[in-house]
Each structure stands twice: as structure tokens, then as C-alpha cells.
Amino acid sequence: MTRISQCHFNHFCVLSDFKSVGLRAADALPEKVKMVEVGPRDGLQNEKTVVPTETKIKLINMLSESGLAVIEATSFVSPKWVPQMADQTEVMKGISKKPGVSYPVLTPNLKGFQAAVGAGASEVAIFGAASELFSKKNINCSVEESLQRFDDIMKAAKEAAVPVRGYVSCVVGCPYEGKVAPEKVAHVAKRLYSMGCYEISLGDTIGVGTPGSMTEMLEAVSKEVPLSALAVHCHDTYGQALANILVALQMGVSVVDSSVAGLGGCPYAQGASGNVATEDVVYMLHGLGIQTGVDLQKLMDAGAFICRTLNRKTSSKVAQATCKL
Amino acid sequence: MGNIPTTVKHCLSYEQIIEDYPWLRRWLQEEKIITEHEYPKFVKIVEVGPRDGLQNEKEIVPTRVKIELIDMLSATGLSVIEATSFVSSKWVPQMADHTDVLQGIQRAPNVRYPVLTPNMQGFQDAIAAGATEVAVFGSASETFSRRNINCSIDESMLRFEEVINAAKEQQIPVRGYVSCALGCPYEGCIEPPKVAEVAKRMYEMGCYEISLGDTIGVGTPGSMFKMLQKVMKDVPVDALAVHCHDTYGQALPNILTALQMGVSVVDSAVAGLGGCPYAQGSTGNVSTEDVLYMLHGMGIQTGVNLNKVIEAGDCICNALGRQTNSRVAQAKGRTL
């Protein structure tokens, strides 16, 4: 056997050093994480109070100044279903679009897509579900039917060179079906990715996931969709969001959705929290030495502003602690 | 991988290494299998609600309510419930009824009821009241030690040594706490070597377990990893526990990191009782319910019945006239 050279020996010492303290904890984390801010859309859509257009615009403008690279601005869904997003066109046209920042909007169908592009949108998002029952109850059709509807949007988006982000909801649990099979999630994610979505955001819609179910689900999905094209959208309804995000990062995911001040309750558990707070995620990432490009103070200012307007307390623990020290 | 010297980095090619030493592939694959089972199979939960929780609540709770809480917790499967604190009622009025509480609870078999004993006086009172396990509280921060217990770290260690020696004679196990393990409200950042030094001293004096406390909840998985990496060089991981505060929402990812490093004892408080005295109105202790939900979801056993803990939490919150801090309890109470 050849003598192990000194540098290889040093390498093994370092490796075994990591292994002796738990390699998992020392798993290479991404150097950078892209934050996708969903507060103005997913957040405000699920708030009880309907927010005036100028407030939404001011919120988005403040968020634009905080260093966030992606801010989901609004939803081109019929105001009949989602009255909170009725002012979609005014919001889209009213915001000051910062260069380098992307402002995707939800487009559930071709009509919504056309209205979005007409209002100046340059990126859109579509929403699938991993649960049949959730799909039927939420958008009144099966998962397969919803994916077919998206074909029209994908074609139109390709022609207009508009990138499309895909969401899969109920990735670890459904309010109607209970547990959701990881294979089903992988199937829907793969379909959306093959259709042309550049990124698939995997949503724990009712926040029931834990590092256990999150790992299992990501292992299945990452067999079908490259990790670099995956994002996690964790709800904090059971307080598990940050732990779930951490395991996702350890598995190689580097895009995280969150909502300033944790805006947006859970519609399936009255009064319970919903989206994870962007401030709390950024605090964790910065503590891990991961770059986000986000200025936490400016982010908290935006959160404080919207909470004052909504007359509600922030759901962000970082914001609560920082204001009172 | 920031610890690797630059001189070594150019050698770090996995393919090159395997080409040179083919037998390594099998070794590394076996290691990978081992690390796939890196979580402990069982985690012991140390319930600190009745002491650390209630001590930091604004409302002073009547003795019978405390006893009722502890009795409810005794029926949940928890194996360790910190019952009270034998500290002078001049300093901690919430714990003035320590003797009545300890003598009033129904002690379940297989459940231990440690109590805090900051000095010999407290230790003797605790033993007289029937305590069978005690705890002492050190700090990794000099300033925190002086402000909190009016003496330096070294002076506090001398006091604890007295208690530990007396406890040894009576075969009373002693648990050690190190506060400010990830940050201090006065000094700010606390270096891992300091935490390791204090933990090691307490362990060598005779504490069977050292609970490392993120007193103001500022820690993140990054600082938790670095701190544990250092402490684990001096204290065996089986003798370590983490006591994470959720003031910045970081408790669960911090606990997860600790589990990944081999820690298998976690402190928590039912309903997340106990605010943070350093950030008015902010949360303090992590909720037992939320910790259990995470552990059970990962297939880790605890022996604890989550629903019974939620019931105990609801009960004490009603008595305190406040909402639970547990997200699990909030969600379960309101699911449509």
C-alpha cells in the first residue's frame, strides 16, 4: 500500500473531525440563498383586512429597497374569488420597479396571464397541487386537469419570453387527504418542470411538515427535478418552518419563500400562523454565514409599516425581540 | 469547510483520492450509511415550565395551580420535571412556595423532580423538603454572572463545589446549567472556548449533565454548531443538553443542529411559558409541544404524549390568563 501523502492525511483528519461531530451538521450549505418574498401576494391575500392599493404599493417599494431580488407583487385571479387582489393592475402599474428585482405575479389561467402581461408583468407563476382533493376543493378540477390548463399559459409565456415559476401545494400534508405521498409530489413537480417552469416551489400549505417528512419529500422530488431548480415554501403553523428550511438547505436547496412579518394566516386553522416570517429566515441564514443580499433592518422597517397599517402584531419573532431590547 | 488550511485545499479531489486509495470508497460509503442514521433514536425532554417558565411569568401563580400543573405533566410521560427553585424569595418571589410545592406534588414513579439550589442554604432546604435531585446554574459570561447572582464565575464555581460535594455525600445527582452559551445581553458575543471551560469545570466537579442555555435566544444553527463543536471536545456528548430560547424564533433549528451533532437531551417549557426578561414582551423558552411535534415527526421517540402536554399547557394558560406560545397548541386548538 502506498504511503498516504501528508495532504491526504490532513484531509482525512478534517473529514473525520467533521464526522466525529456529526457530518450532517457540517454539511456544506449553499453560500447564497435567494429569498422569494411572497408577503404582498400570499401574505396579504390571506389577511382579514383588505389593504388599500397605495399601501400595497408602498410596501412593495419598501421591500424593493431592502435588497430582496424577487417580490411576488399580486395575483391576476378574478376579484370574485380573491377580492384582496382586485387592484392587481393598479398595483402592477403603480410600483417603482427596481432594476435587478423581479416582480412575479400569479396567473391561474390564460386570461389572467394576458391581463398580467398587459399590466406590465415580466414573470408569472402557476399553482399546482399534490393532493387531488385539495385541487378539487381549491380550483374545482383534478390535478391532471389543472396541469392541462397550464399548457396554454406555458405556450403563451414561451412566445412572450416570460419566465414561469411553478408552485406545488400540499407537499407534505393536505387539510383534506392528510399525508401526501412523496411520489405524487415528485410527479407534479416533474410535470411542471418539464412543461417549462424554471423553478418549482414546494409548499407545505398547512405547515404540518417536519424535518422527517421534508427530507423524505425532497429526496423523492430531487430524483425528478434538479435541486438547483427547487425552492421551499414553508408555513409556520406548527412552528416547524425554520427547522424544515434548514434541512432543505442541507440537502442542497438554495431558494426560500417567506413573507415579511409572517403576513398571511393559515386559512385551515383559524387564528394560527401561516407563512414563515422573512425576518426570521434571514436572521437564521445570516447566522449561518449564508448571503442573502437582504438588509435585515430595512426589511423590519417594511414589516413594521405593514403591521401598523393592518393594525396587527408582527408574526416575526426577530422583529418582536429587536423592537424591545 | 472553512477550517481546512489552504495548503490542503488543492489536494481535496475526491476522484483523485479514490484513484490513489481504492479501498477508501468502501470506508467512505460505510461512513455515509452511518451518517444517514445520525439522529438519536430517543431524546429525553427536560420539562422546565414549572420552574424556568413560571419564574419568568408576570403573574404569580398560586401554589395549588403549580401543583396541579406538575401533576398533569407527571401523567404525560415526561421523565424529568423541574419542580421549583430553592432560591431566596427576596430575589425570586414567584418561587417563594418551593417547600409547599415540592411536598404537595404527587410524585410519579419513573419521574424525577430536580430543583434549583444556588448555594448551600438552598441545598439544605431542598433536601429537608424532600428533593432527590438538584441543579446549579453557572454562566459563560462574567458580566451576566455578576449581574445575575452578584459574584464572578470563579466565585460561583466555589459555591457550586460546596453544593456538589454535599450532594455527593448524600448521593443526590446534580445537573449543571451554563447560561449565555450563545450570547449575553451585556457582553454580546460569547466565545465557544469560554463556554467549554465553564462546562468542563462543572462536569469535572461532578455534575452528571450540563445544560447549555441560549439565554437570550440569539443563537442560530451556525453559532450552535461552533459552540457544541468546542464543548464536545471537553464534555462527552451523552452528558450534554441544550436549553434553547425562542426569542428570535431560532430554537427548533438550533435543537435540530444539536441533535445532528449527537445531543439527545432537550430542555423545553410547556406552552412556551416564561418570557424573556431581556426583551420585554418577547418569547423565552421553546414550547415542549413544538419540540415534541418535531421529534415525533422525525421518528425520534420521547415517551411523551403530545396531547396530554397540550392539555396541561391549556390548563396553565387559562390559570395565567394568557395565550399559549406553542404554535402546535394554537394550530390544534383551531383546526377547522
Which domain does B249 fall in, by range?
44-332
Under DSSP, is residue A310 helix (H, G, I), strand (E, B) or coil?
helix
CA distance A191 to A154: 12
Task: Report DSSP state, residue A221.
Answer: H
Q: Name the residue among B58, B61, B47, B51 with its Cα closest to residue B319.
A: B61
Residues of B in contact with A217 (CB under 8 A): none
Alpha helices (H) along A46-107 = 53-64, 88-94
A211 closest CB neighbour out of B8, B290, B298: B298
Which cell goes with B89?
Answer: 424569595
Write down how long chain A is. Answer: 325
> How deeply is A135 buried, as exposed, middle or buried, from its count of CB atoms within 10 A (0-12, 13-18, 19+)?
buried
Residue B18 lies in a domain: no
Q: Name the residue among A115, A138, A114 with its Cα closest to residue A127.
A: A138
pLDDT in tens, chain B (336 residues): 445 454 454 445 555 655 555 555 544 444 433 334 489 999 999 999 999 999 988 888 999 999 999 999 999 999 999 999 999 888 888 899 999 999 999 999 999 999 999 999 999 999 999 999 999 999 999 999 999 888 999 999 999 999 999 999 999 999 999 999 999 999 999 999 999 999 999 999 999 999 999 999 999 999 999 999 999 999 999 999 999 999 999 999 999 999 999 999 999 999 999 977 776 667 799 999 999 999 999 999 999 999 999 999 999 999 999 999 999 999 987 643
B278 closest CB neighbour out of A19, A242, A325: A325
Residue B135 lies in a domain: yes
CB contact under 8 A, A21 and B261: yes
B260 closest CB neighbour out of A24, A238, A277: A24
Confidence band (pLDDT; 50, 70, 90) for A27? Answer: low
Residue B6 lies in a domain: no
CB contact under 8 A, A243 and B294: yes
User: Residue ranges per domain, chain A?
Assistant: 34-322
Closest chain A residue by Cα to residue B330: A272
Instruction: Give strand ranges (E) for B13-114.
Output: 44-47, 80-81, 84-85
CB of B71 closer than 8 Å to CB of B106: yes
Closest chain B residue by Cα to residue A1: B21
CA distance A179 to A157: 33
> How far is Cα of residue B233 from the mean position of the Cα atoms in its chain?
19
CB of B186 closer than 8 Å to CB of B141: yes
CB contact under 8 A, A324 and B253: no
Strand order across the A124-129 sheet: A70-71, A34-37, A255-258, A230-234, A199-204, A164-169, A124-129, A105-106, A74-75
CA distance B310 to B287: 10
CA distance B7 to B92: 56
Average pLDDT, chain A: 90
Strand pairing partners for A127? A167
CB proximity under 8 Å: B 169-228 to A: 185, 217, 219-223, 225, 228
User: Domain A34-322, what fold?
Assistant: TIM Barrel (3.20.20)
A212 closest CB neighbour out of B11, B297, B326: B297
Count how many domains chain B has: 1
Task: Report DSSP state, residue B81.
Answer: E
Residue B14 lies in a domain: no
> How far is Cα of residue B31 from the mean position of the Cα atoms in its chain?
30
Task: Report DSSP state, residue B53.
Answer: I
**φ, ψ of residue B168 in degrees (nearest 5):** -60, -45
Cα of first residue to Cα of last residue in chain B, in angstroms, is 46
CATH number for the domain harbouring residue B193: 3.20.20.70
Write down the pTM of the prediction.
0.90
Q: Name the residue among B265, B255, B269, B253 with its Cα closest to residue B320.
A: B269
CA distance A130 to A180: 7
A26 touches chain B (CB under 8 A): yes
Q: Name the residue among B185, B268, B265, B183 with its Cα closest to residue B226.
A: B183
Residue B20 lies in a domain: no
B33 touches chain A (CB under 8 A): no
A134 touches chain B (CB under 8 A): no
